[in-house]
Amino acid sequence: MDAFVVRPAGPLSGRVRVNGAKNSSLKLVAAALLAEGRSVVRNVPDIADMRVMAGVLAHLGADVDHDGDAWSVDVPAVVGTATPPALAARLRASICVLGPLLARCGRARAALPGGDRIGSRNIDMHLGGLERMGATVEFGPDFVEARADRLVGADIDLEFASVGATENLLMAAVRAAGTTTIANAAREPEVADLAAFLNAMGADVRGAGTPTVEVRGVGELRPATHQVVPDRIEAGTFAVAAAVSDGEVELEGVVPGHLRLALDKLRAAGIEAEAGDTTLTVRGRGALRGVDVVTLPYPGFPTDLQPQFLVLLSQAAGTSMVTENVFDGRFSAVAELARMGADAYVEGHHIIVRGRRRLRGATVRATDVRAGAALVLAGLVADGPTVVLDPHHVDRGYADFAGRLRALGADIERRGVPARAGAA
């Protein structure tokens, strides 16, 4: 089995270019299914999840290829309507082909999606919205099937500002008859990015990025070319790496405005964060202070940065409370960090962190993409070597994480470890 082996190497310094957003890229290539012909998506990160998504699209008949970070998705006149269970089960975003396929083909069967085990992750809002647009929905043993001869625009009120449901419904609505209004829509930059791509394809989507999105259905869409928005979570992860190591790192190719609350929290913790137009310089200033963090849908503090912030807070003075409101089971980093000496525990949906505990290297396990990244960050400041098992979770969302940290001065390598290390 392989693992990241991380040793303390002092403050990180240098520059790192931030990739395009994982959680946008995955949906953009799904949206390409809406139009026959070749769409091109640029600035796509080289991550494992994209390769799985490409497999899902290829199974549906699309010709998916990439040249560097530019991915082309060539969609035939007739596409398949059922996603492959083995691939779909590896990826949460696979459910996002349901909306475009239904819009395009009048029926779609999506294998039940997988992805990180961070909570119950229902799809009831995706399906309820499609039903509001006139689809019938049926469950099989490991799939869900939706049918509609023609989707009809509807008023949809989401119970929670779900990113996936907003995106799936948006992609279904663009070719529906009439107008769809999604209220309490997710406002994440990735939703606005998807809407921009859909509009480039000839759709009429207004208000994406606000709580109310209006979609006027159009008959046909055409292929388009689009540049993916920068990955604010990757940027935030490198920012925490700089902060916790008391280093100075310049992030390039970011939209600092997408990280406003995370930057406020870093500053409150005693970190300098200087935003340019597309750059962000993060600088440690010695002593860290504890801060409370509450995760919420955008523009709230992102749940996808919660585990990384736990590492920072474990090194800060005082006691911090982190409240997780988005996922009901995103706490696995806590026990692993505790194995490294962090004083942190879960109380309901809160995580209490008593800071300034010296972390010691240990063998820990990545259980999902962000928890895995957080454990690597903990290894940067722990005494002795930290072995992070199951690094494939990190590969799902970060392109060459170890290599890019190494370029900033980190001592991290990826190597085989004896299988008994996995019993830890």
Q: How far is the CB of 8 from ligand EPU (least distance, A)?
A: 26
Phi, psi of 205 (to 5 degrees): -110, 125
| Angle value at C-alpha 123, between 158 and 54, nearest 5 degrees | 115
Q: The tokens 């209220």 sit on which residue?
A: 183
Is 122 among the residues that bind ligand EPU (CB under 6 A)? yes
Footprint on residues 356-375 left by ligand EPU (CB under 6 A):
369-370
Residue of 53, 51, 19 whose CA lies nearest to 33: 53
Beta strands in 188-307 (DSSP E): 204-206, 212-216, 225-227, 248-252, 272-275, 279-283, 293-294
Is 121 among the residues that bind ligand EPU (CB under 6 A)? yes
Query: Which residue number, 138 or 328, has a Cβ lying nearer to ligand EPU?
Result: 328
Is 304 among the residues that bind ligand EPU (CB under 6 A)? yes
Of positions 139, 160, 210, 384, contacts ligand EPU by CB under 6 A: 160
Report helix, strand or coil for 162. coil
Is 418 among the residues that bind ligand EPU (CB under 6 A)? no
Residue of 107, 103, 109 whose CA lies nearest to 142: 109
Is 336 among the residues that bind ligand EPU (CB under 6 A)? no
Of positions 184, 303, 314, 367, contacts ligand EPU by CB under 6 A: 303
Q: How far is the CB of 326 from ligand EPU (least distance, A)?
A: 5
Q: How far is the CB of 96 from ligand EPU (least distance, A)?
A: 8
Q: How far is the CB of 410 from ligand EPU (least distance, A)?
A: 21
Is 187 among the residues that bind ligand EPU (CB under 6 A)? no
Q: Tokens for 13?
A: 């310094």
Residue of 395, 371, 393, 210 whose CA lies nearest to 304: 371
Distance of CA 160 to the CA centre of its chain: 18
Catalytic choice (2, 46, 116, 390)? 116
Is 172 among the residues that bind ligand EPU (CB under 6 A)? no
Of positions 37, 119, 202, 385, contacts ligand EPU by CB under 6 A: 119
Q: The tokens 């059922």 sit on which residue?
A: 82
Residue 403, number of CB atoms within 10 A of its CB: 12
Q: Which stretch binds ligand EPU (CB under 6 A): 52-60, 116-124, 239-247, 331-339?
A: 116-124
Query: Which residue number, 32 or 123, has a Cβ lying nearer to ligand EPU?
Result: 123
Tell me if residue 231 is catalytic.
Answer: no
Q: How far is the CB of 301 from ligand EPU (least distance, A)?
A: 11
Is 207 among the residues that bind ligand EPU (CB under 6 A)? no
Q: How far is the CB of 284 from ligand EPU (least distance, A)?
A: 25
Q: Which stretch binds ligand EPU (CB under 6 A): 29-37, 124-132, 149-157, 276-284?
A: 124-132
What number of H helices and E strands is found in the chain?
14, 23
Is 213 among the residues that bind ligand EPU (CB under 6 A)? no
Query: Which residue number, 139 or 318, has a Cβ lying nearer to ligand EPU?
Result: 139
Is 92 among the residues that bind ligand EPU (CB under 6 A)? yes
Is 234 among the residues that bind ligand EPU (CB under 6 A)? no
| Angle value at C-alpha 154, between 153 and 158, nearest 5 degrees | 130
Q: How far is the CB of 38 from ligand EPU (least distance, A)?
A: 24
Query: Which residue number, 39 or 367, has a Cβ lying nearer to ligand EPU?
Result: 367
Contact in structure between 379 and 7 (CB atoms under 8 Å) = yes
Q: How far is CA 222 from CA 35, 74, 231, 251, in A?
A: 5, 12, 26, 35
Is 26 among the residues that bind ligand EPU (CB under 6 A)? yes
Of positions 67, 68, 120, 219, contacts ligand EPU by CB under 6 A: 120
Q: Tokens for 167?
A: 């995106």
Count of chain residues binding ligand EPU (CB under 6 A): 29
Is 164 among the residues that bind ligand EPU (CB under 6 A)? yes
Q: Tokens for 297?
A: 């849908």
Tell me the residue number closest to ligand EPU, measured at CB.
164
Point out which residues pair with 250 in neighbouring strands.
Answer: 15, 281
Phi, psi of 415 (to 5 degrees): -155, 165
How far is Cα 116 from Cα 118, in angstroms, rounded to an integer? Answer: 6
Which helix (H) or strand (E) covers residue 14, if one does?
Answer: strand 13-17
Helices 306-314, 332-339: axis angle to 10 degrees equals 30
By CB under 6 A, name the binding residues for ligand EPU: 22-23, 26, 92-93, 116, 119-126, 160, 162-165, 186, 188, 303-304, 326-328, 369-370, 397
Active-site residue set: 116
